[in-house]
Amino acid sequence: MKFEKPAEMNPIDRMKVVGQPIRRIDGELKVSGQAKYAYEWHDPAGRYAYGYPVGSAIAKGHILAIDSEAAQRAPGVLKVVTTLDVGDREKGKFNTAKLFGGSEIQHYHQAVAVVVAETFEQARDAAALLKIEYAEEAGSFSLKEAKSSAVKPKDAGGSEPDTSVGDFTGAFRSAEVTLDEEYSTPDQSHSMMEPHASLAAWDGDELTLWTSSQMIDWWRGDLATTLGIDKEKITLMSPFIGGGFGGKLFLRADAVLAAFAAKAIGRPVKVALPRPLMANNTTHRPATIQRIRIGASKDGKISAIGHESWSGDLAGGQPEAAVMQTRLLYAGKNRMTAMRLATLNLAEGNAMRAPGEAPGLMALEIAMDEMAEKLGMDPVAFRKLNDTQMDPENPERPFTQRNLNGCLDLGAERFGWKNRGKPRSRTEGNMLIGMGVAAAFRNNLLLPSAARVRLDQSGTLTVETDMTDIGTGSYTIIAQTAAEMLGLPINRVAVHLGDSRFPVSAGSGGQFGANCSTSGVYAACVKLREAIAAKLGFNSADAVFEDGQVRLGNRAVPLADAVGTEGLTGEDGVEWGDLSETHQQSTFGAHFVEVGVDRFTGETRIRRMLAVCAAGRILNPVTARSQVIGAMTMGVGGALTEELAVDERRGFFVNHDLAGYEVPVHADIPHQEVIFMEEADPYSSPMKAKGVGELGLCGVSAAIANAIYNATGVRLRHYPLTLDKMLHQLPDVA
């Protein structure tokens, strides 16, 4: 199915199943411990061995030699497979650094060996016996120091690194009110609960891999490249994933190590990355330095807006696209954005939940608050005044839907914004109380996605697609889509995901998974409906699928009877036309936060949070709300605590565990509320949905920063917003 014109009325619009608050169909498996994650797959007849990965002790250089003799002799050890053993390997399409193979070291904790033993403990103990000789080279580990050498990147994730409209320099210079400030965000870790883990088993020259992957087909292709075998020789299974946040978008070392180890010993091997390697071996959100300049007339109309961002990555990497939202979020005739990339020898910087917009809005939405203050305007009113219904860089290109102002208005009303008060004007005991607001923005991305649906003689509909569920509710919304299309109750739909033998889906990431994967299921269901109608001699366009029957006029046939003893199958996928080129597809929202700051210690506590989201049709308000409140929680961590501390001498992240890398816990999040605006965007897909999981993060951290300012009168521009950065600026108390 090619989606190339706005969707008209279709079966999804009935909203009997889609859009309803149905609880997760996989929930019982998860709460009862029956959902099998990658490391938990177990065949009682299998003789599993365990691999323990060894990471490089240097950040840049080469390996001269690896002495594994002592490790090989250790109790229970079956094999030591080193990076020198496997030799140089072709790198996968989606990786910046090599995951395993050869003597070159590109970053600290790059995989250099895997020790395989009968038990995990034996493998771990033996790994400590490896002796590795390195030729270390000097590296670059500080973005601040490397900023001056940063260059315009060749690859900015499919977008132009620089854009310019009008005369930004002249307009900024002549503006009546101006802002020119620098902001920074730190390196951050995905810190998902489930580690990167894989189980590899060979049968001759064919490999089956149970792993934790957000993108089945991407992994399968890159693993085939690394192993030097045909992609069709690999079966990849990932039905349940314990969190990803972008950290499992691309093939990771655990899968590669498990595959090499299993081949070496002729037995299945399990490999899980220890927590320190999750920070230093896998990807992370790279740090940014951002400069924002805004010029406006005294009435608050923006005349010039410029956003520059610097970030770092390994050679051949990409920048953190922190300027992307600034190209689309606010009006202003004279505009400029630019991205610069420095070469750093830290672990690969790559996608983490809402890449680009999340760190970009951490800066932009503070700048908007600062500008509102300079103008003497309410921050909500200032944002609303500079709304636009057209792409600001291409005024001939309209947004399909844009209700940012509606989100701001409803949020302000529900949150009690009128009671906000001036900075440092509200107190409760020792606490200074403040409110903050920030706009939320995330583009609607589109990837092809396919599925197969099969209706059997019992009237049960089975859906098969390699789509993944990273805790987002994919099982449920896919079941809802299929049930709606065939007129079945949801308990008559079985959903099978995360298997490379199924049709290739969009996968999970970028906020595109829900809309794209359900559109692929929609397309497959259209094929099945056509097959059923043809078998009955019905006109498929006029046939009504409802209440377990297919009807045309006065004739009604139960679906089970219609498909017969053999059953019927439909398989198809969705491909996208040029609607996203002729019209801008984006999601919008508004975040409101109230904080309390201790006047003596500077400690910040979140008191309450509200997110208002305009993101097309909400396929399931229960699972969507879970996504948003999870994202809001992540935004609290990004604002107040999360920072990968870089050892700039040795080139590694020091706080590479959950004791040192602090994420929010339940006590940090007292009250969250989520409101979804009523929308259905016919330009987005046949589902008329978009995505919401990453929108819930975008802007949250800035809303917290703005609330801290309202509480204390202290403006913080460098994350995380820790008490040491404000304590000396708080009012005297003695």
DSSP sequence for 272-336: E--HHHHHHTS-BBPPEEEEEEEEE-TTS-EEEEEEEEEEEESTT-----TTGGGGTSS--SEEE
Tens digits of residue pLDDT in 362-411: 999 999 999 999 999 999 999 999 999 999 999 999 999 999 999 999 99
Kindly state whether residue 257 falls inside one of the protein's structural domains: no
Residue 550 has pLDDT above 80, yes or no: yes
Stretch 178-183: mean pLDDT: 98
Say whether both 421 and 529 belong to one domain: no
Say whether both 416 and 485 belong to one domain: no
Stretch 254-259: mean pLDDT: 98
Say whether both 705 and 652 belong to one domain: yes
Kindly state whether residue 246 falls inside one of the protein's structural domains: no
Domain edge (last residue) among 548, 563, 580:
580
Residue 335 has pLDDT above 50, yes or no: yes
Tens digits of residue pLDDT in 493-520: 999 999 999 999 999 999 999 999 999 9
Q: How far apart are CA 149 and CA 341, in angstroms?
A: 9
From the list 191, 196, 181, 153, the residue with the least C-alpha distance to 312 is 153
Say whether both 473 and 520 belong to one domain: yes
Q: How confident is the model at residue 44 (pLDDT cuts 50, 70, 90)?
A: confident
Residue 155 has pLDDT above 90, yes or no: no
Domain of residue 628: give its range: 389-444+585-729
Beta bridge partners of 669: none
3-state helix, strand, coil in the chain (%, to 5): 30, 30, 45
Q: What's residue 733's pLDDT?
A: 63
- Mapping DSSP onto H, E and C, the string for 512-578 reads CHHHHHHHHHHHHHHHHHHHHHHHHCCCCCCCEEECCEEEECCEEEEHHHHHCCCCEEEEEEEEECC
Q: Which residues are the active-site residues?
A: 694
Kindly state whether residue 333 falls inside one of the protein's structural domains: no
Kindly state whether residue 453 falls inside one of the protein's structural domains: yes
Give the amino acid at 604.
T
Q: What's residue 379's pLDDT?
A: 98
Q: What's residue 425's pLDDT?
A: 95
Q: What's residue 734's pLDDT?
A: 44
Residue 421 has pLDDT above 50, yes or no: yes
237, 210 Cβ separation under 8 angstroms:
yes
Of the two residues 44 and 197, the one the predictor is more confident about is 197
Q: How far apart are CA 517 and CA 467, in angstroms?
A: 7
Say whether both 394 and 502 belong to one domain: no
Domain edge (last residue) among 580, 597, 631:
580
Q: What are the CA-CA distances from residue 150 to residues 263, 287, 318, 344 (Å)? A: 42, 14, 12, 10
Q: Residues with Cβ < 8 Å from 693, sequence gap 6 or more?
A: 353, 472, 511, 514, 624, 627, 628, 630, 631
Q: How far apart are CA 672 and CA 127, in angstroms?
A: 45
Tens digits of residue pLDDT in 693-706: 999 999 999 999 99
The three-point CA angle 226-229-232 to 5° equals: 115
Say whether both 502 and 572 belong to one domain: yes
For 441, phi and psi rounded to 5 degrees? -150, 135
From the list 566, 537, 540, 552, the residue with the least C-alpha distance to 458 is 566
Kindly state whether residue 52 falls inside one of the protein's structural domains: no
pLDDT mean across residues, the chain: 97
The three-point CA angle 483-488-491 to 5° equals: 80
Taking residue 618's Cβ as centre, other Cβ atoms within 10 Å add up to: 24
Stretch 234-261: mean pLDDT: 98
Peptide bond into 720 cis (omega under 30): yes
Domain edge (last residue) among 580, 602, 626:
580
Say whether both 436 and 461 belong to one domain: no
Q: What's residue 150's pLDDT?
A: 98
CATH of residue 403's domain is 3.30.365.10
- Beta strand 131-136 with 461-464 is unpaired
Say whether both 553 and 653 belong to one domain: no
531, 701 Cβ separation under 8 angstroms:
no
Q: Give the sign of the dihedral formed by CA 721, CA 724, CA 726, CA 731.
A: positive
Kindly state whether residue 85 falls inside one of the protein's structural domains: no
Residue with tokens 């973005």: 143
For the chain, how many structural domains are there in total?
2
Stretch 471-483: mean pLDDT: 97
Q: How confident is the model at residue 587 (pLDDT cuts 50, 70, 90)?
A: very high
Say whether both 616 and 688 belong to one domain: yes
Q: Angle at which helices 474-486 and 513-536 pack, to 10 degrees?
A: 30
Residue 94 has pLDDT above 60, yes or no: yes
225, 276 Cβ separation under 8 angstroms:
no
526, 3 Cβ separation under 8 angstroms:
no
Tens digits of residue pLDDT in 516-537: 999 999 999 999 999 999 999 9
Kindly state whether residue 108 falls inside one of the protein's structural domains: no
Residue 732 has pLDDT above 80, yes or no: no
Residue 129: Cβ-neighbour burial (10 angstroms; 0-12, 13-18, 19+): middle
Say whether both 473 and 487 belong to one domain: yes
Tens digits of residue pLDDT in 591-628: 999 999 999 999 999 999 999 999 999 999 999 999 99
Say whether both 720 and 591 belong to one domain: yes
Q: How confident is the model at residue 42 (pLDDT cuts 50, 70, 90)?
A: confident
Q: What are the CA-CA distances from residue 388 to residues 299, 407, 529, 677 (Å)? A: 17, 14, 41, 18
Say whether both 418 and 527 belong to one domain: no
Q: Give the sign of the dihedral formed by CA 61, CA 67, CA 71, CA 77.
A: positive
DSSP state at residue 151: B
Q: What are the CA-CA distances from residue 510 to residues 177, 506, 513, 732 (Å)? A: 36, 10, 7, 46
Kindly state whether residue 693 falls inside one of the protein's structural domains: yes
Q: What's residue 731's pLDDT?
A: 79
Q: How confident is the model at residue 361 (pLDDT cuts 50, 70, 90)?
A: very high
Q: How far apart are CA 578 and CA 21, in angstroms?
A: 33
Taking residue 621's Cβ as centre, other Cβ atoms within 10 Å add up to: 14
The encoded tokens of residue 24 equal 């997760």
